[in-house]
Amino acid sequence: MIPVNEPRLGARELEYVNECLQTGWISSEGRFIEAFEQKWAEYCGMKYGVAVCNGTVALQLAVACLDLQPGEEVILPTFTIISCAQAITYNGGIPVLVDCDPRTWCMDVGQVEAKITSRTRAIMPVHIYGHPVDMEPLQEIARRHNLVIIEDAAEAHGAEYKGARCGSLGDISCFSFYANKIVTTGEGGMVLTNNEAVASRLKSLRNLCFQKERRFYHTALGFNFRMTNIQAALGVAQVEAIESAVQQKRWMGQEYTKRLSQFKELQLPVEEAWAKNVYWMYGLVLNESTGMSAVDFAKRLAEAGVATRPFFLGMHEQPVLQDRGLFMGEHYPVAERLARQGLYLPSGLSLTQVQLGEVCRVVGAILNGR
């Protein structure tokens, strides 16, 4: 089976993790935490980094900094992972959805303004599968309505919008370093900001709101969302190698596109003129004219030794959110189609040219042999 993803880990990762084990710095103190926070913030073009234990809680902490009052709203794309919606609901807010752009699969920024009410506090753009959101119109809307932008750049390490890195385009940005991410720490996440007060709040919330002056004395409730020094050690080694990882992803994306563009039944990822796509995952949308859904297609691919993953199912189609009375009767046709016709192909950093060729051969054989 050609896997969807596998992490790329090298000698540096081993060396730095070994240092943690040999020195005994295995919890959330030690030199790698700050080094990772600094290196990642610097790479993304932001001032402060706060490392946490995964991308889901990075979003939760970012939204916590809004101090949402009950009934206040955050606008996000329906086509994303549930971490985004639950970061809002856990903080007492209401997620408000927009559909996605049919080309980039990212939030349709043209739909945002119509969703703004007197209760709207923030917008949460999500850069999908490595392609940035069209941020400039969003930044302009946020400025005009005095809204915070919380950028979810979990899938867009190294991606760029008009020359600026994803993660530097909002007020607060969030990352995941799960094993399938371009930079991985196994499990892990980070929140970036240029605001010193926000960074200090994030650090406090991450660590049970301990007071500096007197430990075990609390004036606020926090969380234990700390990252370990071992994870950060992996992260430092990974950031040192990010240029070659991004290059490999871009090679993979361009190579897939070159070989698959002959199939008119497939919609392939784009790279808009203002974007640098890092092809975190190489997605396909299968035309309904094939008579196959993504589930049928995935099954055929798996039988031929090619692993895939389905696209996201929109937040408005999630029973757990509908059960809370959210999104009743709402429809988002682009996201609904992507959820049914979309999947992604093997996209790991270790994918070889031979494997990529085999994936394309199998895709072609299924489409031609229908």
Angstrom distance (rounded) from CA 185 to CA 59: 17
Q: Quick one: 87 or 198, whose CB is closer to ligand PLP?
A: 87
Q: How far is the CB of 181 from ligand PLP (least distance, A)?
A: 7
User: Which residue has the closest beta carbon to ligand PLP?
Assistant: 55
Q: How far is the CB of 176 from ligand PLP (least distance, A)?
A: 3
Q: How far is the CB of 225 from ligand PLP (least distance, A)?
A: 11
**Range 249-269 burial, b when 16+ CB lie within 10 A, else e:** bbebbebbeebbeebebbbeb
Span interacting with ligand PLP, options 76-84, 108-116, 135-143, 347-355, rule CB under 6 A: 76-84
Q: How far is the CB of 350 from ligand PLP (least distance, A)?
A: 19
Size of the site for ligand PLP (CB under 6 A): 13
Residues numbered 176-215 forming contacts with ligand PLP, rule: CB under 6 A: 176, 178, 189
- Which residues pair with residue 189 across a beta bridge? 52, 176
Q: How far is the CB of 80 from ligand PLP (least distance, A)?
A: 6
Angstrom distance (rounded) from CA 273 to CA 255: 19
Q: Pick from 78, 83, 248, 267 the residue near ligand PLP by CB under 6 A.
A: 83
Using rule CB under 6 A, residue 347 touches ligand PLP: no
Q: Quick one: 58 or 284, whose CB is closer to ligand PLP?
A: 58
Closest CA to 285 of 264, 271, 306: 264
Long-range own/partner contacts, residues 329-337 (CB < 8 A, 24 or more apart): 330/97, 332/78, 332/79, 332/97, 332/98, 332/99, 332/100, 333/99, 334/79, 334/99, 334/100, 334/101, 334/102, 334/108, 335/77, 335/78, 335/79, 335/99, 335/100, 337/285
| Binding-site string for ligand PLP from residue 44 to residue 63, where x marks contact by CB under 6 A and - marks none | ----------xxx-------
Instruction: List residues binding ligand PLP (CB under 6 A).
Output: 54-56, 80-81, 83, 126, 152, 154-155, 176, 178, 189
